[in-house]
Amino acid sequence: MEELNDLLTVFLGFGVFNANAAFQFSQYTSVYSQGWSAGRLGYLPEQVWGYALARFAFERDEMNPEWSQYLSTNIRAYFKASMKWLRSSGERLHSYE
């Protein structure tokens, strides 16, 4: 059920925030040391966030949504690849006719 909780934020329109927080990377440097850390929040990997957001936009006929400019670099790459695939397949989950 944890994955569904993450997907619910996409459905409710808040997916950009959780997607951008899915992976965090930071570097540090001090006088005596340097290093990096990486962390993950939530239950979905970045690829799934990108696809979920693309599916959300595709189903709403948003082929180039304004909000996609606010996606982090990795999520945006997965989003664009998913949108390209969805456009080529043209298959919708729901018909609005």
Q: What is the pLDDT of residue 96?
A: 58
Longest CA–CA separation in the chain, Å: 65
Q: What is the pLDDT of residue 8?
A: 95
Structure tokens at 75: 């999520």
How far apart CA 21 and CA 78 sit, in angstroms, is 15
- Tell me 33's DSSP state: -
Q: Which H helix or E strand runs over 10?
A: helix 2-11
Q: What's this model's pTM, rounded to 2 decimal places?
A: 0.83
Q: What is the pLDDT of residue 87?
A: 93
In terms of DSSP H, where are the helices of 12-91?
A: 15-20, 46-59, 73-89
For residue 46, the SS3 value is: helix
Q: What is the pLDDT of residue 57?
A: 96
Give the residues of the chain that fall short of pLDDT 70.
94-97
Q: Where are the domains of the chain?
A: 2-89
The angle, 0 to 180 degrees and rounded to 10, between the axes of the packed helices 73-89 and 46-59 is 50
